[in-house]
């Protein structure tokens, strides 16, 4: 992925995660993105020298953004936030474990009228970058996406405004 394309992807990520704080203002989202990037300055410098570190930088950027948004939501009593990292364990993305984690998250978000459920690393967990993207792996990924969307829709009340973000 080119550097400009990766920066644009990160900007869109920050804009989506912090929309309630920025009001979808891309200038403010760029400021947040720059602050997160600054916090990872050492890794950014290594990535500039060694482009093969780009995946590691993306993972660290995503983790830093998720941590920052979790801290922000902890101060907002009317906003719920839950982050599930599908790559925490080798079996985390399998349907049985994914359902258990997601149900835990949805129970946590149930009292909130406004909530965000962030799912990270689902694609790398099911289609590892160092391995081939076989038809079966792509099918498993598509099924996991559909499963998460269906489970979230079925377990969320109609009056709730839940944002489901995949990263």
Structural domain of 20:
1-65
- Domain count of the chain? 2
Do 28 and 82 fall into the same domain?
no
Handedness of CA 23, 27, 30, 36 (dihedral sign): negative
Q: With respect to residue 138, please indicate whether it lies within any of the assigned structural domains.
A: yes
Boundary of a domain, candidates 65, 85, 118: 65
The confidence score (pLDDT) of residue 102 equals 93
The confidence score (pLDDT) of residue 3 equals 58
Q: With respect to residue 32, please indicate whether it lies within any of the assigned structural domains.
A: yes
Do 41 and 86 fall into the same domain?
no
Asked whether the predicted pLDDT for residue 32 surpasses 80, the reply is yes
pLDDT band per the 50, 70, 90 thresholds, residue 66: confident
Do 24 and 101 fall into the same domain?
no
pLDDT digits (tens, 9 = 90+) for 95-130: 888 899 999 999 999 998 888 898 888 888 888 878
Average pLDDT, the chain: 85
> For residue 144, what are its two tokens?
């996991």
Mean pLDDT within 46-52: 77
Asked whether the predicted pLDDT for residue 1 surpasses 60, the reply is no
Do 57 and 115 fall into the same domain?
no
The confidence score (pLDDT) of residue 166 equals 87
Boundary of a domain, candidates 65, 92, 121: 65
Which of 27-31, 66-70, 148-152 bottoms out in mean pLDDT, i.e. has the lowest?
66-70
Burial 63-82 (b: 16+ CB within 10 A, else e): bbbbebbeebbeeeeebbbb
Do 53 and 103 fall into the same domain?
no
Q: With respect to residue 71, please indicate whether it lies within any of the assigned structural domains.
A: no
Do 114 and 46 fall into the same domain?
no
pTM of the model: 0.73
Task: Count other Cβ atoms within 10 Å, centred on residue 28.
Answer: 15
The confidence score (pLDDT) of residue 49 equals 78
Asked whether the predicted pLDDT for residue 73 surpasses 80, the reply is no
The confidence score (pLDDT) of residue 2 equals 55
Asked whether the predicted pLDDT for residue 48 surpasses 90, the reply is no
Do 126 and 150 fall into the same domain?
yes
Q: With respect to residue 40, please indicate whether it lies within any of the assigned structural domains.
A: yes
The confidence score (pLDDT) of residue 138 equals 92
Share of the chain above pLDDT 70, in %: 97
The confidence score (pLDDT) of residue 25 equals 85
For every residue of 100-131, DSSP letters joined together read HHHHHHHHHHTT-SEEEEEEESHHHHHS-TTS
Neighbour order of strands in the sheet with 161-166: 79-85, 114-120, 161-166
Do 165 and 93 fall into the same domain?
yes
């Amino acid at each position: 992925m080119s550097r400009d394309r990766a920066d644009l992807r990160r900007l869109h990520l920050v804009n989506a995660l912090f929309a309630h704080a920025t009001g979808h203002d891309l200038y403010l989202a760029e400021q947040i993105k720059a602050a997160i990037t600054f916090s990872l300055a050492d890794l950014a410098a290594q990535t500039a020298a060694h482009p093969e570190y780009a995946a590691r930088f993306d993972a660290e950027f995503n983790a830093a953004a998720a941590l920052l948004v979790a801290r922000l939501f902890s101060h907002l009593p009317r906003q719920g936030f839950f982050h599930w990292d599908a790559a925490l364990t080798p079996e985390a993305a399998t349907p049985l474990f994914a359902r258990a984690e997601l149900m835990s998250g949805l129970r946590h978000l149930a009292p909130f009228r406004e909530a965000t459920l962030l799912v990270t690393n689902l694609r790398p967990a099911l289609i590892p970058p160092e391995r081939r993207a076989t038809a079966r792996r792509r099918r498993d990924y598509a099924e996991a996406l559909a499963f998460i969307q269906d489970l979230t829709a079925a377990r969320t009340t109609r009056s709730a405004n839940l944002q489901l973000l995949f990263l």
